[in-house]
């Protein structure tokens, strides 16, 4: 059997790993438009901080692909698929497949004010983008990070660690609006402020312009700030352009079922490019889980994906933060809060059932709570 996997991230590598555990015979080819071996994408911020060499965040080296008899085609891009004849086209020419996994991930999405010709304005998703950020940071003193989400905070702290004066600009009134409620976010903001991070809340960026003395970021309320460089961290969009003209069903991502199958025979999808029951997880753990399920399904194993528990665990400025499950308030939701010094824990229950939790300062219970919420 000839298996092709588009991608070389966590979803792709999890799939390849489980396939090889059960099947030594099939040909596996992985294709990536990045020029790297598999690395820990979330750790790109450590690389930017200057504290960790890129080699330290590599997960699979060349020997891994060799040992597992997997052909990795790096720096090559898929541009279209003929789903009827089961052929991929791209900068490599053409490749035919028996089973195809699309694990093409996502790319930064840019707000309407962004113009590609802007200088010293970046987004972070790949090693190549990290290299550009580092090159500019070496000659800069201040930075503005547009977006106070998971990635924005992490990137901002990496620049603070480089000694830069860094301000996070957030549209909402609090940090991590997807992961934290306002009370928890206020605790985190205070802890991060002690670590030299600065914030501007409730600001909608209207424009960025290159001026003689740096960048000017103008906001919808008429105010503005100056910075030497800016990083846009305003969400992602799935990499699915190469599916244009095919019958593969997509919404915001590729629509998948409980076996990670798309609606087109022999094509599966997993990770940040996929959408399961309307959900786009956009996190490492879900991409890993989906990759594993996809790999098993592709070799005919009986699997049944029921969705991943929505959760995120980050370390920002040395502060552990995790949010798991659902923390929406209904009339019957009960909340329990524990707060002592730098440790904050908030649990959300519906009856006796734990449905969500927010942890700041100590996330050691993350996996235990994740299981309890899922169970
Ligand atoms: C800086 C940073 C920090 C993060 N921090 C966290 C965190 O703390 N916690 C967390 O849970 N998540 C975090 N994330 C998100 C997490 O990294 C992603 O959810 C995860 O990497 C998704 O994996 P994936 O395999 O689906 O896609 P990706 O890792 O995006 O991999 C996609 C692959 O597809 C390839 N590809 C795409 N299009 C094509 C094409 N046309 N042709 C050929 N190849 C193609 C790419 O080269 C790449 O190899 C972070 C992300 C970033 C960028």
CATH of the domain at 162: 3.50.50.60
In a domain, 219, yes or no: yes
pTM assigned to the model: 0.93
Q: State residue 179's pLDDT score.
A: 82
Do 118 and 20 form a contact (C-beta atoms < 8 A)? Answer: no
User: CATH no. for residue 362?
Assistant: 3.30.390.30
Which residue has its alpha carbon closest to ligand 1 atom 38? 104
In a domain, 311, yes or no: no
With cut-offs at 50, 70 and 90, classify the pLDDT of residue 255: very high
Same domain for 282 and 349, yes or no, is no
Same domain for 226 and 124, yes or no, is yes
With cut-offs at 50, 70 and 90, classify the pLDDT of residue 310: low
Query: Structurally, how many domains does the chain consist of?
Result: 3
Exposure letters 332-357 (e unless 16+ CB within 10 A, then b): eeeeeeeeeeeebbbbbeeeeebbbb
Tens digits of residue pLDDT in 160-200: 999 999 999 999 999 988 788 999 999 999 999 999 999 99
Q: State residue 150's pLDDT score.
A: 83
What's the sign of the alpha-carbon dihedral 110, 114, 117, 119? negative
Q: What is the mean pLDDT of the chain?
A: 95
Judge residue 230's burial from the number of C-beta atoms within 10 Å of its C-beta, 0-12 exposed, 13-18 middle, 19 or more buried: buried
Task: Name the domain boundary from 263, 298, 333.
Answer: 298
In a domain, 307, yes or no: no
Same domain for 75 and 157, yes or no, is no
Task: Name the domain boundary from 232, 250, 275.
Answer: 232
Ligand 1 proximity of 272 Cβ (cutoff 6 Å): yes
In a domain, 306, yes or no: no
Same domain for 240 and 103, yes or no, is yes
Question: Which of 239, 252, 280 for mutating ligand 1's site (highest number of atoms within 8 Å of CB)?
Answer: 239
Same domain for 80 and 11, yes or no, is yes
Helix (H, G, I), strand (E, B) or coil at 63: helix
3-state helix, strand, coil in the chain (%, to 5): 25, 35, 40
Q: State residue 311's pLDDT score.
A: 67
With cut-offs at 50, 70 and 90, classify the pLDDT of residue 336: very high
Tens digits of residue pLDDT in 33-88: 999 999 999 999 999 999 999 999 999 999 999 999 999 999 999 999 999 999 99
Mean pLDDT confidence for 259-264: 98
Q: Supply the range of the domain harboring residue 198.
A: 110-232
- pLDDT: which is higher, 15 or 285: 15
Task: Name the domain boundary from 232, 253, 277.
Answer: 232
What is the C-alpha radius of gyration for the chain, rounded to an integer number of angstroms? Answer: 22
User: Could you give the C-alpha distances from 320 to 192, 193, 314, in angstroms and in order?
Assistant: 11, 15, 6
Mean pLDDT confidence for 112-121: 95
Ligand 1 proximity of 373 Cβ (cutoff 6 Å): no
In a domain, 303, yes or no: no
- State which ligand 1 atom lies nearest to the alpha carbon of 41: 17
With cut-offs at 50, 70 and 90, classify the pLDDT of residue 106: very high
């Amino acid at each position: 059997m000839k298996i092709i996997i588009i991608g070389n991230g966590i979803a792709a590598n999890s799939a390849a790993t489980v396939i090889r555990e059960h099947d030594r015979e099939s040909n596996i080819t992985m294709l990536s438009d990045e020029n790297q071996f598999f690395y820990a994408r979330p750790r790109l911020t450590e690389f930017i901080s200057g504290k960790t060499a890129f080699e330290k965040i590599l997960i699979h080296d060349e020997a891994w692909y060799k040992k597992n008899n997997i052909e990795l085609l790096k720096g090559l891009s898929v541009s279209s698929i003929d789903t009827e004849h089961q052929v991929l086209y791209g900068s490599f020419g053409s490749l035919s497949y028996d089973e195809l996994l699309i694990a093409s991930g996502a790319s930064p999405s840019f707000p309407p004010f962004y113009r590609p010709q802007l200088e010293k304005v970046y987004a972070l998703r790949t090693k190549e983008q990290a290299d550009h950020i580092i090159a500019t940071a070496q000659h800069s003193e201040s930075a503005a990070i547009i977006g106070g989400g998971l990635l924005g905070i992490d990137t901002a702290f990496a620049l603070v660690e480089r000694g830069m004066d860094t301000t996070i600009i957030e549209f909402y009134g609090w940090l991590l609006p997807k992961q934290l409620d306002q009370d928890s976010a206020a605790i985190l903001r205070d802890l991060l402020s002690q670590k030299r991070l600065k914030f501007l809340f409730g600001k909608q960026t209207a424009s960025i312009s290159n001026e003689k003395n740096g960048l000017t970021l103008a906001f919808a309320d008429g105010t503005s700030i100056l910075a030497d460089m800016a990083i846009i961290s305003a969400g992602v969009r799935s990499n699915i352009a190469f599916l244009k003209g095919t019958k593969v069903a997509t919404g915001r991502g590729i629509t998948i079922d409980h076996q990670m199958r798309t609606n087109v025979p022999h094509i599966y999808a997993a990770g940040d490019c996929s959408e399961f029951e309307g959900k786009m997880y956009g996190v490492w753990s879900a991409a890993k889980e989906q990759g594993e399920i996809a790999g098993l399904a592709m070799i005919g194993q009986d699997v049944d994906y029921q969705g991943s528990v929505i959760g995120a665990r980050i370390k920002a400025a040395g502060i552990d933060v995790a949010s798991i499950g659902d923390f929406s308030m209904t009339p019957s939701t009960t909340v329990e809060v524990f707060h002592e010094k730098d440790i904050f824990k908030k649990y959300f229950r519906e009856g006796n059932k734990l449905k969500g939790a927010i942890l700041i300062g100590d996330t050691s219970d993350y996996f235990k709570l994740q299981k309890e919420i899922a169970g």
